[in-house]
Structure 1
Amino acid sequence: MVQVSTFARTVFINFLLVLLSIAASSCVNAASDPTVTGWIVPANASFTTVKPLLQNAIATQTKSDLAHVRIKAKQDYWFIIDLSKQVQSKLAVIYADNAHLSHVEFYTLDDNFDQLAAVNNDTHRLINKVLPHSVFNTDSAHWGVIFARHNDDGWINIGFASDQQFIAVVNSRLRDFIIITGLLLLCIIISSIVYILSQQAKSIYLLVYLGCVLIEFLIAQGAFNYFSGALLPIWYAKLQLSLQVISLAVVVGCFIHYLQSRNIIKPRQYKLLAYVSLLCVTAILSCFMKQSVHFIVVTLSLGCMLVLLSYLFFYWRTHTKQAASYEFLIVASAVILQTLCWQASLVAGSPLYPFNELLIVINALLFVVMLLNHERKRVKQYTFSLSHDDETKLPNKRLLIKRLDGLVKLATAHSILLFRPAVLLNARANFGYEHVNEHIKVTMGKLAQQLASMNVLCVETNKQGLDCIVRLDDSTYAVVIIGKLELSQIEQLVCVINSVFADGITHKRLHLIDKVDIGVANYPLHASTSSQLIQRGLQALAAKPLHGERWHMFNIENVTLSQRRIAIASALKEAIECDQLSLFFQPQVDLNTGKIHGGEALLRWAHPQLGHVPPDLFIPIAESAGMISDLTEWVITQALLYQKQITALLPEHIVSINISAKDLLRKDLPVLFITLLDEFKLNANNIMLELTESATLFEGVDIKNALNDYRLIGVKIAIDDFGTGYSSLAYLSKMGFDEIKIDKQFVMNIEYSKNDQTICRATCDIAKSLGSYVVAEGIEDSQSMVKLQSYGCEIGQGYYFSRPLAFDAYMLWLEQHLETTPLVTSDGQTVTDLIEKNNY
């Protein structure tokens, strides 16, 4: 941005110097060109036959000013100059200042009108192509005669000067030509570079405009004569006027493109572009017409272009209600002034040529400077967007890290406080981004005012004041506290933030209450770099709040746990694919008969590096990571495969499979059961799906419909961990579970807890009334077993019978306990004897 600004200033200074140079050159030329007088004889004759006419004109006519003469088309003109009264130097030059004359000849005569030989002017032969002239010796020459013919109406300017004066005139014009041509080429190069860098359409329009102006200028100066053996055809000179129409059409087209890009004139754009193209084609074709017709066509075309430009301007003002920018007014004025000056030069001739050249320089430099200024604004805006949020205009993470790096470099202690308004996500979904962003701007403005008097870091100073709040992402903001870590200061900041956000968000009579999650990390206590400090703050922000806590300080233990959860999530997919998982079975025994009822399939994971990972840790991670479906399919497939082998030994064996609440509503899971049951030739009545009580409360209506799908297959449904949730009797009756499992927390202490005894007895009574049977988990001794059996509990499961076993060990256990003998306690008494003895 600094380089662009410096370059713009350099261009502006050069612009002033060029203007002064051209103005000074015009003044020198005007002062050095003496007034040339003589006689004008319009006659179509050869030199030998026109001599009497020349002598007669000298004798009878008065002298005329030859510096600016209008000549008619296809008419021969003879101009006579009295050389003896013009200059006193030995060598002099007569020249005709018009590079587009069809024919021009120079003669020098003595006192008797006899022709003299002209002085050799080979040194000026290249100049003769654009400035026809003749060098003569004033000692012998008395009269100078110039013959000129033009194929169209035009102007001729006769000049007379000493040899040194002529060289000065040529040098001055050559200098102006080089300066203006070089300046136009420089502007074209700059516009090309800007287009390559920015790919903006306006650069293309400027390139075309500058190209037209350059060709106009070269034609007017006769530059193309150097590449032709004869003088330039007249229609090339007419093309110069047509290029004026094209250059103005480019300006109009650029304005149409501007309006189109803002959807202001979209329905009419193609019609307007067709009008502009038609005017350009007409102006070009008129080059092959007569001069008078060509002049009328070009004039009308330019007039139409100006009218169209005015129409677009007022259309824009009417439909946008915007004040015209100074840049647009300057461009429009410069283009219109250039057009009018070109047209005036056709009438007035050479006196207006210096003004044309001056306007060429002004317009070219003006347009390029404005283009560079516009690009400077774009670069400035782009640079601003890199370090600021687009929606709220607050400083972003990039600018925050830059400021924190400065503090770290100075070893200044500081803390970062990250806060996240919890209501933002819900508010955007219900109220829309625009309303919420406006609310954020207002709220952050209030918060910044209150934080201004506190010891917080000013991230940036702008026109509105000091910015001490940074937006890290869509919903997370940051404030930096300068100084050592002080809990009282953090508490004060937390109070300020909570009070500002306490009002929530209101929109169309809807009000959302807001609360703020806050995390804090300190340098150098928690981090050694700015990026690490932000990461620590985010980790503190992600910590689950405990009751009464309003903010969290970074804690390395939470980070370790979080990293372990990430490692587990990363390794879980590999565990499924590489067969690191396994199923253990815990037997379920009929308390009345002692027979084996079945077994619960329990998932186990032994990772090579992480070691034994408990299910209550990796299953929630699998749910949050979106891998629970793959995990469930693996468990079901493996459990049914094992059930096929178990039923070969024990046909009535029932396998219980735990299923996640998120998988219960999957429509493809019943299809999987049907496929596997058919493939393994299993009885669906021997399959029990265990759902936790919290899972059954998840979207109750859909759960009931999902359970009906499984019942149609023949699979039985159990409610696991009963008593830990909030199920009502009506809810249990509505769901119609085949089995109710008492959670082990009510069983393990049943000998000593009256409450647990009451819960277990009531559960058994509820199950009987609903037609379900009861399974008790966590039976670890015979006394617990006896009490549960006395309450009417049918099935027992726990360490008293067996720990969870790997499949091979479970098969051995089944083979050893296939006898259907009654259950016997450690002292040799049966369960029935104990019940009768204790009168349960």
Structure 2
Amino acid sequence: MDQASILARAYCIKIFLILLSITATASVMADEVPASGWLVPANTPFQTTKPLLEQVVTTDSKTDLSHVRIKAEQGYWFIVDLNKRSQSKVEVIYADNSHLAQLNFYILDESFNPLVEVKNDAYRYVDKVLPHALLPKDEARWAVIYARHSEDDRLSIGLATGNEFANLINKKLRNFFLITGLLLLCLAVVGTVYGLSHQAKSLYLLAYLVCVLSEFLIAKGVLNYFNIEFASLWYTKLQFSFQVIALGVVNFYFIHYLQSQNLLNARQDKLTVYISLFCVAALFSCFMKQSVQFAVVTVCLGSMLVVLSYLFFYWLSNTKKAMQFKFVLVWFAVVLQTLCWQATLVAGAQIQQLNDMLLVLNVITFVMVLLIHERKCVMQYSYSLTHDDDTKLPNKQLLIERLDSQVKLSTEHSLLLFRPAVLINARANFGYEHVNEQIKLTMGKLAQQLASMNVLCVEANLQHSRCIARLDDSTYGVVIVGKLELSQVEQFVCVINSVFAEGLTHQRIHLIDKVEIGVANYPLHASTSLQLVQRGLQALAVKPLHGERWHMFNIENVTLSQRRIAIASALKEAIECDQLSLFFQPQIYLNTGKVHGAEALLRWEHPQLGNVPPDLFIPIAESSGIISDLTEWVITQALQYQKKMIVLLPEHIVSINISAKDLLRKDLPVLFITLLNEHQLNPANVMLELTESATLFEGVDIKNALNDYRLIGVKIAIDDFGTGYSSLAYLSKMGFDEIKIDKQFVMNIEYSKNDQTICRATCDIAKSLGSYVVAEGIEDSQSMAKLQSYGCEVGQGYFFSRPLPFEDYMQWLEENLETTTVFVNDLEKVVDLIGKNNY
């Protein structure tokens, strides 16, 4: 449910209440002016009726003509004495039944001779509302009405002055249009609610209102205005059929509701069939005689009322919830309306006004119940927008609203965000339901301790006051009012840590963990509430160092984080757009001066970021998942260059660094095999360099992965040896072909006894394991001589060459091959000189 739908539903409720207050002031009762006279059952035409009328007036007594029942196919003469018309100023005679098959008015003189032919062409639309005749002045002595209908019906004869008749017409029309308008308004409101919510109860109420509106329009003779001759015999009977269908809709809704509550599964199908049969029987009864139809409708209404009562009391006896007043009200209103409908079949127009009143009251009741329910849904939705579903704590939106109010007042405040790691671990071990209960208890304890401190109430109402907000699944926030003081922040940090120091326990499992805390201040760190929340999250994301318990927002950390994000987003593009390049640093045999090979080093020159060092973008590539693409690019380029380098030096060895993330990839050995075959390279001339930390990554699987590469024929080297925690047994088990001494032990080897000891021991270890040693970071001849004396075979460093682009490296390689002999002679002299000085 989106916010627009909720607002639209709220506006529907308001519009309905406004219009309802206007229409509720109107009366649904109509005044009647009854008449008295003589009633003569006879089917004779008017020309032959004069003796009969004279005899009846002379011999019979008057009767009340306000409520007369006529039988089917029987004609009736109604005689009204107008002799005293001048005293009462009677001007109109009318019959309150507009859908009779035949209704004729005659105005007679003292001798029962017609004075004038009654024609109401000028008032034909008024005649559709209330059939009538205008009485001539001073001449009319008798008024005679002839009435006949195809079915049993009722008729009311009345006299009125012109003003009284006009008022009577106005009241009838006003009541008709007010009730019709109210029903149409209710239809529009319920239709709108259904269009927005698509709930079944709205659809059922919509169908009920359609049936009630149809029944009301037929009862008021609306079809008379359209002169539908062929339908005049049966359309009025639809009034009672729509009553049955309306009650059937209510039953269907109760069945649907009970089914949704899993209370009526077994009996549902049978009850639905019974109610459907009653509705069909009511429809077919329109083509039966009126007496038969009344019997059928009475049985259908009574039967469905029994079913409705059964469903209602069945719900009361089986539901575990407290009895809802709205269901009792709906049931009582439907029962009362049904009883009134059944009484109308017997009493007819005498209780039609009561039926109209009940109709209005019931429709208003049903729609109000629906709107109250929708209002409750709107309130619940509004509450859910500003509160967490699990813990009922204020959420991020409500927190930002409160921060906005503080910003508008220019009040200094600090946002303290904390993330208890124990909650994340507890969800994985204990489940959400238990942890949510523990969160409520823990946050309740924390709120009690913070209540006496200078905190901002994020939510304050009659029920409760809350100062803790939940931003997401594991992050919570507290607003500290006032200037930023580190001592005050420390006090809050102590309170929070003390509350979570107890940890969480469930089924004898006890979890205790740290709490990460970040703080940002307004206006020191942010100028808006959203920015303040962002600053707080950035402070929260900083990893704690040296026992720190919390972090204040620092722009330097943000700059570094933003640079890491920019690098991660640009790295994928760098691979695709060929922004990367390989540099090669030569590796030299220390004894002979010949070229052993070169280590391939990755370099990245970004157009905007500039030169990005590998130490920065390699970890980012590993954390962002781009390292696989990066490794494949390096291997592909290195082996392409190796094909060109072996043309100058067939025994040239290229060393390729591989990440620990890619070491266990099953498709990487396949890539090596494909490229080696494609370029026709000797696998023994390819060296994979693994850092010591990478070789300690999931130990057993690493050995199996290395065996896959050894089957190909590729050699394996351990890089940066001495910086990790490898044991001799571990090195022996792995069986590395090459051990590289890290440059931090080589650069100060001339002056550091510890570095000398480490390098000498590494060379001894390598010899005992059958591996050869490569020393990194050789920058002068003295370091080279010492390593050579320890038995180190190969060296690389600035003393030989800096890392070179491929073209420069090829040129260097070609020149070096020509000067190797001279270099070896010079090297022997240097070694002899160093040996004399040392010994």
**Alignment TM-score, normalising by the size of structure 2:** 0.92
Q: Who is 2:634 aligned against?
A: 635
Matched residue of 1:21: which SS? coil
Q: 1:587 to 1:4 in 2, by over 3 A?
A: closer
2:656 and 2:434 mapped to 1: Cα distance? 49
2:468 and 2:647 mapped to 1: Cα distance? 70
Q: Who is 1:249 aligned against?
A: 248
1:573 and 1:11 mapped to 2: Cα distance? 59
1:406 and 1:139 mapped to 2: Cα distance? 83
| Residue 344 (1) aligns with residue 343 (2) | yes
Q: Deviations over 1:576-608 (max 9, x none)?
A: 222222212222222333332221111122223
Moved more, 284-293 or 331-340: 331-340
Q: 1:16 to 1:799 in 2, by over 3 A?
A: closer
Q: Who is 1:239 aligned against?
A: 238
Matched residue of 2:26: which SS? helix
Offset of residue 489 of structure 1: 0.8
The answer on whether the counterparts of 1:102 and 1:231 sit within 8 Å (CA) in structure 2 is no
User: What amino acid sits opposite 1:397 in the alignment?
Assistant: K
| Residue 33 (1) aligns with residue 29 (2) | no
Matched residue of 1:740: which SS? strand
| Residue 616 (1) aligns with residue 621 (2) | no
Q: Who is 1:508 aligned against?
A: 507
Q: Who is 2:172 aligned against?
A: 173
1:544 and 1:266 mapped to 2: Cα distance? 57
Q: Who is 2:292 aligned against?
A: 293
Unaligned runs of 5+ in 1: none
Matched residue of 2:774: which SS? strand
What does 1:273-284 correspond to in 2, within 5 Å? Answer: 273-284=272-283
Matched residue of 2:389: which SS? coil
The answer on whether the counterparts of 1:94 and 1:161 sit within 8 Å (CA) in structure 2 is yes
Moved more, 243-252 or 274-283: 274-283
Q: Deviations over 1:762-782 (max 9, x none)?
A: 323332332222222222333
Q: 1:837 to 1:400 in 2, by over 3 A?
A: same
The answer on whether the counterparts of 1:825 and 1:831 sit within 8 Å (CA) in structure 2 is no
Identity %: 69
What does 1:425-444 correspond to in 2, within 5 Å? Answer: 425-444=424-443
What does 1:130-529 correspond to in 2, within 5 Å? Answer: 130-137=129-136, 139-228=138-227, 233-259=232-258, 273-317=272-316, 320-529=319-528
Q: 1:274 to 1:684 in 2, by over 3 A?
A: farther
Q: 1:657 to 1:55 in 2, by over 3 A?
A: same
Matched residue of 1:532: which SS? helix
The answer on whether the counterparts of 2:26 and 2:178 sit within 8 Å (CA) in structure 1 is no
2:292 and 2:732 mapped to 1: Cα distance? 102
1:425 and 1:204 mapped to 2: Cα distance? 44
The answer on whether the counterparts of 1:692 and 1:720 sit within 8 Å (CA) in structure 2 is yes
What does 1:666-681 correspond to in 2, within 5 Å? Answer: 666-681=665-680
Q: 1:780 to 1:271 in 2, by over 3 A?
A: farther
Offset of residue 318 of structure 1: 5.2
Q: 1:9 to 1:574 in 2, by over 3 A?
A: closer
Q: Deviations over 1:322-376 (max 9, x none)?
A: 2332223222322222222122111112221111111222223333333333333
User: What amino acid sits opposite 1:754 in the alignment?
Assistant: K
Matched residue of 1:84: which SS? coil
Matched residue of 2:69: which SS? strand
Q: Who is 1:21 aligned against?
A: 26
The answer on whether the counterparts of 2:782 and 2:834 sit within 8 Å (CA) in structure 1 is no
Q: 1:303 to 1:695 in 2, by over 3 A?
A: farther
Q: Deviations over 1:514-563 (max 9, x none)?
A: 32111111112112222222222122111121111000011121122122
What does 1:649-664 correspond to in 2, within 5 Å? Answer: 649-664=648-663
1:694 and 1:6 mapped to 2: Cα distance? 65
Q: 1:801 to 1:320 in 2, by over 3 A?
A: farther
Matched residue of 1:546: which SS? coil
Offset of residue 481 of structure 1: 1.2
User: What amino acid sits opposite 1:21 in the alignment?
Assistant: A
Offset of residue 241 of structure 1: 0.7
2:36 and 2:319 mapped to 1: Cα distance? 60
| Residue 560 (1) aligns with residue 565 (2) | no
User: What amino acid sits opposite 2:33 in the alignment?
Assistant: D
Q: Deviations over 1:264-313 (max 9, x none)?
A: 65777666555444332222121111112212222232233333333443
1:643 and 1:103 mapped to 2: Cα distance? 113
Offset of residue 484 of structure 1: 0.8
Offset of residue 320 of structure 1: 4.3
What does 1:49-60 correspond to in 2, within 5 Å? Answer: 49-58=48-57
2:512 and 2:362 mapped to 1: Cα distance? 60
Q: Who is 1:782 aligned against?
A: 781
Q: 1:320 to 1:664 in 2, by over 3 A?
A: farther
Q: Deviations over 1:463-502 (max 9, x none)?
A: 5422222222232222211111100111111111112222
1:779 and 1:415 mapped to 2: Cα distance? 53
Matched residue of 2:190: which SS? helix
Moved more, 749-758 or 684-693: 749-758
1:667 and 1:470 mapped to 2: Cα distance? 47
| Residue 767 (1) aligns with residue 766 (2) | yes
Matched residue of 1:313: which SS? helix
| Residue 813 (1) aligns with residue 804 (2) | no
Offset of residue 229 of structure 1: 6.8
2:287 and 2:704 mapped to 1: Cα distance? 88
User: What amino acid sits opposite 1:686 in the alignment?
Assistant: N
Moved more, 619-628 or 425-434: 425-434
Aligned residue pair count: 833
The answer on whether the counterparts of 2:305 and 2:338 sit within 8 Å (CA) in structure 1 is no
User: What amino acid sits opposite 2:340 in the alignment?
Assistant: C
Q: Who is 1:758 aligned against?
A: 757
2:280 and 2:320 mapped to 1: Cα distance? 35
Moved more, 82-91 or 386-395: 82-91
Matched residue of 1:690: which SS? strand
1:119 and 1:233 mapped to 2: Cα distance? 23
The answer on whether the counterparts of 1:452 and 1:466 sit within 8 Å (CA) in structure 2 is no
2:463 and 2:658 mapped to 1: Cα distance? 58
2:697 and 2:257 mapped to 1: Cα distance? 57
Q: Who is 1:713 aligned against?
A: 712
What's the C-alpha RMSD, in Å, of the aligned pairs?
3.0
Q: 1:332 to 1:699 in 2, by over 3 A?
A: same
2:10 and 2:738 mapped to 1: Cα distance? 81
Offset of residue 137 of structure 1: 4.5
The answer on whether the counterparts of 2:736 and 2:771 sit within 8 Å (CA) in structure 1 is yes
**Alignment TM-score, normalising by the size of structure 1:** 0.92
User: What amino acid sits opposite 2:731 in the alignment?
Assistant: L
Q: 1:536 to 1:10 in 2, by over 3 A?
A: closer
Matched residue of 2:718: which SS? strand
Q: Who is 1:829 aligned against?
A: 829
2:270 and 2:674 mapped to 1: Cα distance? 67
1:628 and 1:177 mapped to 2: Cα distance? 79
The answer on whether the counterparts of 1:212 and 1:247 sit within 8 Å (CA) in structure 2 is yes
Offset of residue 828 of structure 1: 6.1
User: What amino acid sits opposite 1:214 in the alignment?
Assistant: L
The answer on whether the counterparts of 2:388 and 2:470 sit within 8 Å (CA) in structure 1 is yes
1:708 and 1:87 mapped to 2: Cα distance? 127
2:334 and 2:343 mapped to 1: Cα distance? 14
The answer on whether the counterparts of 1:245 and 1:301 sit within 8 Å (CA) in structure 2 is yes
1:463 and 1:269 mapped to 2: Cα distance? 45
Moved more, 542-551 or 301-310: 301-310
| Residue 594 (1) aligns with residue 593 (2) | yes
Q: 1:358 to 1:398 in 2, by over 3 A?
A: same
Q: Who is 2:574 aligned against?
A: 575
Moved more, 425-434 or 562-571: 425-434
